[in-house]
Structure 1
Amino acid sequence: MLNKVGFSVKEHLQNFVIVSVFYVTAYSLTLGFVVPLQQLVFTNVIYELSLLFLPHGVRVLAIYFFGWRGMLYLIPSAYLMKILSYQAGIPLDPWSPLFNILACYVGFELVRLALPKRFSGAQFPKWRYFGLVALFGSIFNSAAMTLLHQNKLDLFIALGYVIGDMAGFFVCFFILIYGFRFARLLAKVDDA
């Protein structure tokens, strides 16, 4: 049964599960591997800041592929990971997950409005458009997170958020690219 926008309940559930699994995986890798390594190498970096924040890539890709629905798919897993971050000793503002997701959506909408021909659906945008969405989303995210966690706009900390978000985006994006290439290679092998 299709709803007004052409998605069945099953498709929404599948999209939600896919986005949630990737978000939780990316966040778990960041929380369990990147942050401890970062604290060993850069002892003066605040806990709320990751210099390789993989979930930003998942947020950007989810919002690009699913639009405003991507925000709805992301919210439960974002709050789950916020709770787990708090349990790991990383205090985050309760509004953080919502502002993270909203910042990516605003970045996406700005790029889409600035480049309407590139997002018409007739052609798939090139990687640089994904990068623009990630950059604008990261700028809005860094401003929001700096204000939430520091109660002021600290440009040095905001730059750290941008660096972490963009590095995380590029890692996720390259994993996606090579994942698709690997899938095509497997399809060719199966056809042979």
Structure 2
Amino acid sequence: MKASISSAVGRAIYIFVLYFVAHGITSLFVFPAQTYLLGTTSFFASLIYLPHGVRILSTWLFGWRAILPLFVAEYTSQVFFLPEDALATIRPDLIVSSLIGAVSGFLAFTVLHFAGGNFSFGKSSKASWTLLLVAGGIASAFNSIGQSILYSDSIAAADLALVLVIYALGDLLGLFICMLLMMKVFQWVR
């Protein structure tokens, strides 16, 4: 029992730190560059959203046990990294928003499971990169639609399609970059 509690705490800390760092990189470097190059479309979506990669890979490795640490990391990252004006806009719905993000990966893998996808949470060290990207795409759809509905009052109707495209592109690029980094880390560790 004691070992399972310590492994659960370790897993939660691991997920939290990776998510927090990924969110920090996105907030401090990616989003300012995006704003400089493309102007301000929305503070809701980033063209390279690294935390989505952490979401998908954590869920692939740990299944439902990743949801709570992802939720806490999402909430904390938003509070810590968002500018005060953006935070003031989303604060009333931040708990729901964080929950949508935290469960999106698990929902995507569940859909794939019922569609006949072959994966086991944390039981195989061999990743199907295609399956992970498909899961990331499905999770991105769940997340972007959920967030867009939640914040529909803050997203101009004319910008909605662009925000959804930026969500999808940013999530998939973030996942792809995280997968490449994971591959390099595994090669280095060997």
2:168 corresponding residue in structure 1: 162
Q: For 1:166 and 1:64, locate their aligned partners in 2 and report how far apart those are by CA, in whole Å.
A: 15
Q: TM-score, normalised by structure 2?
A: 0.86
Matched position secondary structure for 2:86: coil
1:96 corresponding residue in structure 2: 97
Task: Return 5+ residue gaps in structure 1 as ranges.
Answer: 185-192
Q: For 2:119 and 2:17, locate their aligned partners in 1 and report how far apart those are by CA, in whole Å.
A: 29
* CA offset digits 1:34-85 (Å, max 9, x no partner): 1111111110421111010000000001111111110012121111112123
The percent of aligned pairs where both chains have the same amino acid is 25
Q: For 2:124 and 2:76, locate their aligned partners in 1 and report how far apart those are by CA, in whole Å.
A: 36
Instruction: Go from structure 1 to structure 2 and tell me whether the alpha carbon gap of 1:176 and 1:125 turns closer, same or farther (over 3 Å shift).
Output: closer
1:111 corresponding residue in structure 2: 112
Q: For 1:178 and 1:25, locate their aligned partners in 2 and report how far apart those are by CA, in whole Å.
A: 18
Q: Which amino acid letter does the alignment assign opposite residue 20 of structure 1? A: F
For the 8 Å contact 1:99–1:141, the answer to whether it is kept is yes
Instruction: State the superposition RMSD in angstroms.
Output: 2.1
1:155 CA displacement = 2.9
Task: Return 5+ residue gaps in structure 2 as ranges.
Answer: none
Matched position secondary structure for 1:17: helix
Question: Which residue of the other structure, out of 23, 39, 43, is the alignment partner of 2:39?
Answer: 43
Q: For 2:83 and 2:162, locate their aligned partners in 1 and report how far apart those are by CA, in whole Å.
A: 27
1:159 CA displacement = 1.5
Q: Which amino acid letter does the alignment assign opposite residue 126 of structure 2? A: F
Q: Which amino acid letter does the alignment assign opposite residue 142 of structure 1? A: S
